[in-house]
Chain A
Amino acid sequence: METTHVVEFRGISKYFGDNAANDNVDLYLDKGVIMSLLGENGSGKTTLMNMLAGIYFPDKGEILINGKPVTIRSPKDAFEHHIGMIHQHFMLVDVFTAAENIVLGLDEAGRLDRRQIADKVRAISEKYGFEIDPNKKVYDMSVSEKQTVEIIKVLYRGADILILDEPTAVLTPQETEKLFRIMRTMKEDGKSIIIITHKLNEVMSISDVVAVLRKGKHIATVRTGETNEAQLTEMMVGRKVELDIDRLDPRDPKPRLTIAGLTCRDNEGVEKLSDVGFIAYGGEILGIAGIAGSGQKELLEAIAGLRRIEKGSIIYTPEGKAPTELVGKSPMEIKDAGVALAFVPEDRLGMGLVGGMGMTGNMMLRSWSKSHKWFIDKKEPRRLAQEVYKFLEVATPDIDYPVRKLSGGNVQKVLVGREIASEPSVLMSAYAVRGLDINTSYIIYNLMAGQKAKGVAVIFVGEDLDVLLQLCDKILVLCGGRVSGIVDARTATKEEIGLLMTSIGGSSTESRAGSESNPDGKEGLKNE
């Protein structure tokens, strides 16, 4: 062998039950290279990386580090080979400080000298340009700060090979740019980086090489400079796919929901929404953007009647009927009036579906109250389940197969499909594509667009700004529970929305500059 690779996988396979998560993968990474790992959901990216990080153990094959075969049985072994992984779900202890999290699991002997640790953390931060307070508790941190702690954690252990699992999924565009700057600094420092991401534009901008996985198999590794997004998608999906959303101009938009002065508190009395007002039109998609926890969930819950409203009004005007006030109505009444909510929580199943029941049972959750018989009537829900199953191509062995056992994408199809099937006149969906791969995501996007064409008022809470800009007609940006601005999705830019997300009105607007300082003390807003 002429060159030694920093990491090399040889014939790696990993099975979960009868399912091959990874099937005979050969892959290598060189020093000082940023590699993107690309693939649909369930293509085995995270599984492969978890084997490098010692979370899983390969069933077949071997891993070579710097040309030598190694056995990585635990995360500890991985650290010894200078491998560090930043997981998609942060691996941090909430009640500990940044410094305490960083030293977790280290073999340094003796007492816990918090001052010494803090000094070392500061030294690393200065070297790579992080901003972090070692004594800040994790529960007080923003998402981007938590990620910083994760990265420092692996650097503190002297990692030379860094794995980042979907690091940008939760960041604003500005924060992403900052992360990429740090990654480039690390690369110059001789570190090798593997980044898992779904976003093709990020792949193109950050990586040197791209490795594509499909159904657990390694398809190809290409230089970023010699490929393009269409080619990568084709490799990922295995066939040509259209990544376009049909955005028609809204036809004859009429106000469907008129919301004014909406104010809500959470159970602890903290104000989650304050004075929110907007109009959702039928035949339009209204996107809602904002940093995680800016009140998106609360807003939808308030409209659906799941949250107590302190002040404000929600006027609902169904097609050809008189306007009614929704505040004070029960969730059942609101649902029956035609306002549907499809909320996909972080754990996907938590709200909306019962994991242990099949598709039929879950369809029934929507309709049980309509039947006035003594015994439950399964005929109608079964027909509906069949319809969703066929129309959305849900991959399930049987419509009575527990939804808990379906893959994430299919669970989401069931959830969204059920809400659409109720033929609502307002469809609210939150994070409908959370964790879904490109192909499935686009099916969902086009479902939303289809509803819009039917004249439904669609409210779409999303995380990916690129998609919001492509899909929606208008985008409402929430910041700390307030409406930071409403922009036209056809003309707005990502940067504009990013600014609105972090400060009310967006600090770039000259007239508003300085009127509201940014509430989270977030950095990284300087335009370069």
Chain B
Amino acid sequence: MNGFSLIGLIRAAILNGTPLLYGTSGEILTQKSGNMNLGVEGLMFMGGAFGLCGAFVYGNAAGDNAVGWIAVLIAFLCAFLAGVAGAFIYSVLTVTLRANQNVTGLALTIFGTGVGQFVGELMRLRVGGNVSISNTLKTAFSGSIFPEAMQKIPVLGDLLFNYNIFVYAGIVIVVLMSWFMHHTRKGLYLRAVGESPATADAAGISVTRYRYAATCLGGGISALGGMVHTMTIAGCVWNHNALAGEGWVAVALVIFCLWKPLNALWGSMLFGGLLILYLRLPIPFIPTQIYKIVPYIATTIVLILVSMRQRKEDQPPAGLGLNYFREDR
């Protein structure tokens, strides 16, 4: 097996899985509130474009004085806010105006992709070539946050300490989210809203507030995935096709993870690995297209297995996809 290394594959899986980790965990939060936001693809495009745009504008303005961590923070905030804005539109349409969730989600995908492309192409035209940021800033995005000595530890250094900041931040977000859902009252109430909004409402929980909050926050987190993809894997360059399909894989991954944030940790790594397997472990005669559908096949198999086992805890939130109106009859 020339050129194949297991450590290399794992590293690549984790790096490629991280954007999915954000996309998926954000969508899990959204879906736990009962909102089926199919606009993740659009949110990730917006996150990618606005994240890059933020860092790019800051890099140009600050010139040689640009500080790495500030650029990261700005990209982070821009992407997050773009996602919140997109998810807010979705919430207004579905929660307040009670539009069909699937249709709204698909519309958000189209809208978000369009906005992302527009911002990205606009930047390209202004610059007249590839949008890119300085190498110092690039290092801030893709370099490890650990001291060099730790990165140099054989095997472990590469496996554990040699990732960009977003990998670790993503893990922290997911662990916090899982803890929130299962060990706090607010988390319990959020799950109640997603399972049975009428019950939550009768118990005095504001369905509207929880759905808005979870959807906007979730949308923000999903959008971060697009930014992470653009700023790490795509090398801080806008490529109008680079993000295509990421959001849909993230939605599939939500099902694969059975709506449990902690499952997203290994799930996103697995899917990240499957996405790049065709580069790392090519088998002759098997076209790359076959490789690319593997994540979806895996999701289908999980769906079949889960529906065969019929464990109540593994089912989607019972109120998923249904808008709630108290005086409906």
Contacts and interface: CB of A to CB of B under 8 A. Distances in A.
Given A55-B327, A56-B327, A104-B200, 16 more contacts: A53-B202, A56-B326, A74-B204, A75-B203, A91-B198, A93-B200, A94-B312, A94-B318, A95-B195, A95-B318, A96-B195, A103-B185, A105-B200, A111-B185, A112-B187, A112-B188
B288 interface: no
Interface in B275-329: 310, 312-313, 315, 318, 326-327, 329
B329 to A, nearest CB: 7
A110 interface: yes
A137 interface: yes
A111 B329 contact: no
A139 B189 contact: no
Contacts, number: 79
A370 to B, nearest CB: 37
A226 interface: no
A402 to B, nearest CB: 16
A375 interface: no
Contact of B199 (A91, A109, A139): A91
Interface string A94-138: 111000110111101111100000000000000000000000010
Contacts of A74: 201, 204, 206
A238 B33 CA distance: 47
26 contacts: A16-B329, A74-B201, A85-B202, A87-B202, A91-B196, A91-B199, A91-B202, A92-B199, A93-B195, A93-B199, A94-B196, A95-B195, A95-B312, A95-B318, A103-B188, A104-B200, A104-B205, A105-B204, A105-B205, A110-B185, A111-B183, A112-B185, A112-B187, A139-B312, A153-B203, A268-B310
| Count class of interface residues, chain A | 20 to 34
B312 A105 contact: no
A514 to B, nearest CB: 33
B198 A94 contact: no
Contacts of A10: none
Contacts of A106: 185, 204
B123 interface: no
Interface in A1-48: 16
A79 interface: yes
B192 interface: yes
Dominant secondary structure of chain A at its interface with chain B: loop
A402 B246 CA distance: 44
Contacts of B191: 93, 96
B5 interface: no
Contacts of A95: 195, 312-313, 315, 318
B184 interface: yes
Interface of A: 16, 53, 55-56, 74-76, 79, 85, 87, 91-96, 100-101, 103-106, 108-112, 137, 139, 153, 268
A268 B187 CA distance: 32
Residue among A100, A105, A109, A153 with the most chain B CB within 10 A? A105
B183 to A, nearest CB: 6
Nearest to B203: A105
A153 B187 CA distance: 19
A446 B189 CA distance: 48
Nearest to A105: B203
Nearest to A87: B202
Given A94-B318, A103-B185, A112-B188, A75 B199 contact: no
